[in-house]
């Protein structure tokens, strides 16, 4: 009865005109849907990926970074490393004292 579907696509947005140039955006769209007999839910996330600048001198590609998410991920990795090293030290200390 329940049909949960997920999909991820990269979609080109409508071109943007600014400063006499044209920008072609691309967006990653992640969708999670569930259509069950008695209820439904639908979640969609649209994350900008890049923008291509079309000018007279040629095309330039600009990445759009998620600085906050990158920094949080690095901190999470640091937390795991600290926990790993500390556990190793505790284990070594335990083995030496035995």
Partner 1 sequence: MDKFTSILDQIAATVDKADVNVVFGEPKEVQGRTLIPVAEVAYGFGMGLGAASVECGDAACVDHDDDACCSDEEECAGADDEGEFGGGAAGARVRPLAYIEVGADSARVIPIQDEQKIALMGIALGMWCVAWLGLVLKSLFKK
**Contact footprint for partner 1 (CB under 8 A):** 11, 13-14, 16-19, 21, 23, 25, 27, 29, 32, 38-48, 51, 53, 55, 60, 62-68, 71-72, 75, 78-79, 82-83, 86, 89-90, 93-94
Are 51 and 24 within 8 A, CB to CB? Answer: yes
The minimum distance between CB 36 and partner 1, in angstroms, equals 8
**Backbone phi and psi for residue 14, each to the nearest 5 degrees, phi listed first:** -70, 140
The residue among 5 and 68 lying less far from partner 1, judged by its C-beta, is 68
Closest CA to 22 of 58, 68, 49, 47: 58
């Amino acid at each position: 009865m329940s049909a949960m579907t997920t999909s991820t696509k990269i979609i080109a947005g409508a071109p943007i005109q600014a400063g006499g140039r044209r920008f072609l955006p691309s967006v990653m769209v992640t969708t999670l849907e569930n259509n069950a007999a008695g209820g439904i839910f639908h979640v969609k996330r649209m994350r900008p990926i890049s923008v291509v600048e079309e000018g007279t001198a040629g095309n330039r590609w600009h990445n759009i970074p998620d600085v906050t998410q990158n920094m949080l991920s690095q901190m999470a990795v640091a937390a795991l490393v600290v926990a790993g090293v500390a556990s190793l030290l505790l284990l070594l200390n335990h083995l030496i004292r035995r």
